[in-house]
Amino acid sequence: MYSEKVMDHFSAPRNVGEIENADGVGEVGNAVCGDIMKIFLKIENGVIVDVKFKTFGCGAAIATSSMATEMIKGKKIEEALELTNKAVVEALDGLPPAKIHCSVLAEEAVKSAIADYYDKNGIEHNINIGCDCNCEGCHKHDH
Ligand code: FES
């Protein structure tokens, strides 16, 4: 039921760990299952030169974070902000419907780490952390 790519990123996740003196740190929790994810960014001249993550989450959360870190590494901040959980899921060749909410964690963690970077540097932003998908799980974020 999981694609080969999901199994690959789950069993050998990329970019696991922490970055000391990270330029941006984002920590988010999943309202549906209570899992937690933390993402660390190293940013130079507006480019994400390094990224690491730690998660207390399920296999799908690990696989999506691993893929998400690969997708934003070397990218400009603005490009990383456009990363959606849907794009990550597509890059993994899909997730079972019941696990889509897990992929939201990675997108939110990236956004919250970038928001932290902007806050630390006094840059105004209107980053909206939250999922706009319509799944039942994500609706619970409102409550
Ligand atoms: Fe919690 Fe997947 S079940 S992130």
pTM, 2 dp: 0.87
Catalytic positions are 33, 102
pLDDT digits (tens, 9 = 90+) for 50-105: 999 999 989 999 999 999 999 999 999 999 999 999 999 999 999 999 999 899 89
Closest atom of ligand 1 to 60 CA is 2
Distance 76 CA to ligand 1 centre (A): 28
Q: Which of ligand 1's atoms lies nearest the C-alpha of 61?
A: 4
> Which two structure tokens, joined as six digits, stand for 20?
């000391």
Nearest ligand 1 atom to alpha carbon 105: 4
9 versus 126: the higher-pLDDT residue is 9
32-43 tens-digit pLDDT: 888 999 999 999
**Which residue from 102, 101, 97 is spatially nearest to 137, judged by alpha carbons?**
101
**Is pLDDT of 139 > 70?**
no
Q: Ligand 1 site: residues with CB under 6 angstroms? A: 30, 33, 35, 57-58, 60-61, 102, 105
pLDDT over 60 (residue 5): yes
* Tens-place pLDDT, residues 16-25: 999 999 999 9
Contact in structure between 110 and 48 (CB atoms under 8 Å): no
- 25, burial (CB in 10 Å: exposed 0-12, middle 13-18, buried 19+): middle
CA of 122 to the centre of ligand 1 (A): 33
Half-sphere exposure of 112 (CA within 13 A, CB side): 19
Assigned token pair, 85 = 């959980």
Q: What are phi and psi of 122, to 5 degrees?
A: 65, 30
